[in-house]
Amino acid sequence: MFNVFSWQYFIYLTLSIGIIVALVLVLRKLDDKARVISQISLIACIGLFFIIEYTSRLIVNKGTKFGDQMPIELFQIFVYLSIFIFFYKKSSWKKFAYLIIAPVSGYNLIFVPSMYNQFNAFSLCIISYYILNAVVLANAVLGMLWNEEDLEKKDVLDASITYIIIVAIAHLFNVFMRFTAWGVHANYFGTMGEGYDILIEWLYSIIPIPFLCILPLLAILVGVQFLLILPFDLIKTKKQKQSQIEELIALGNLKAQQEYRQKHKSTKSQILVKSETKAQPKTEKNLSQSKNSGFVATTKEVKVNKNKDKQ
């Protein structure tokens, strides 16, 4: 049987990381036409393994109430959102995919729900689960890289509020399903605690209150989001510095460059700028030109390396 932290688990996790890295490295520099084809292929792959995972799980759990096995687990909601984001193409949702779907999909790969413990370690359901989450994560990251979105700290707040609303709705649904007995074990998104996965089970033992038990995970998620926007901040800062340096080169302003170097002493730039002092020849040269129009004769003499010209 499948168990978290078993040797089979580490094989799946390693292969999933390999799939994510390979997809991102291979597809991130495609042109626009190839990107569309690739994203359609990724969405089709996500849909295929979603169907395989859910169907095989229903076959194994024949005696379970449908209310406890509805296709609205967290990773399944991410499938719906991935399809929605592909067609909607709004910037805010692409940022949500990168800031929420990507890290939470990573969480799903590490902390597999306990309901999979009853499956054979190399069952089609487990394989589909890992591939599904890996491709969803890669698709979320690629969506951000392809569109070169500019992430800011306020985007963390927007994405977090949206995610908390989704989780709160899931919790109310769990409460409703249990109250009506349509799903006596309904625990979608793990908001009810009670051994949803190994980490939430541990948190529930410390905070035995539904929904409140997962709040530490939401706080950690916010911290992870700030880490995810750091690369974009570094790239933005690097571009700004490069733009300033290029402007100095274009202006040829020696004083401005000296001030820039004093301001950024840690940056030892060796860039050469155009000097404002003109070069002078070592030996003095006299140039003369004579013109005779028939009535008036004129002579023009120029000394090249003198401060004044004589005419």
Domains of the chain by residue range: 7-240
Whole-number pLDDT of residue 264: 62
Whole-number pLDDT of residue 40: 94
Measured in whole angstroms, how far is the alpha carbon of residue 144 from the centre of its chain? 5
* Torsion over CA: 229, 232, 238, 242 (sign): negative
Burial of 290 (0-12, 13-18, 19+ CB in 10 A): exposed
The tens-digit pLDDT sequence of the chain (311 residues) is 899 999 999 999 999 999 999 999 999 988 889 999 999 999 999 999 999 999 999 888 877 888 889 999 999 999 999 999 999 888 899 999 999 999 999 999 999 999 999 899 999 999 999 999 999 999 999 998 888 777 888 899 999 999 999 999 999 999 999 999 999 899 999 999 988 999 999 999 999 999 999 999 999 999 999 999 988 777 777 777 766 666 665 666 666 566 666 666 655 445 444 444 444 555 555 555 555 555 555 555 555 554 444 44
Contact partners, residue 111, CB within 8 Å, separation at least 6: 4, 197, 198, 199, 200
How many other C-beta atoms are found inside a 10 Å radius of the C-beta of residue 204? 20
Q: Which candidate, 221, 58, 188, places its Cα nearest to that of 128?
A: 58
What's the rounded Cα separation, in Å, for the pair 81 and 93? 9
Whole-number pLDDT of residue 233: 75
Burial of 138 (0-12, 13-18, 19+ CB in 10 A): buried
Whole-number pLDDT of residue 275: 46
- Residue type for position 228: L
Whole-number pLDDT of residue 245: 65
Task: State the pTM of this model.
Answer: 0.77
Long-range residue pairs from 190-194, CB within 8 A, at least 24 positions apart, any chain:
190/74, 190/113, 190/214, 191/167
Go through the chain and tell me how many residues it has.
311
Whole-number pLDDT of residue 219: 94
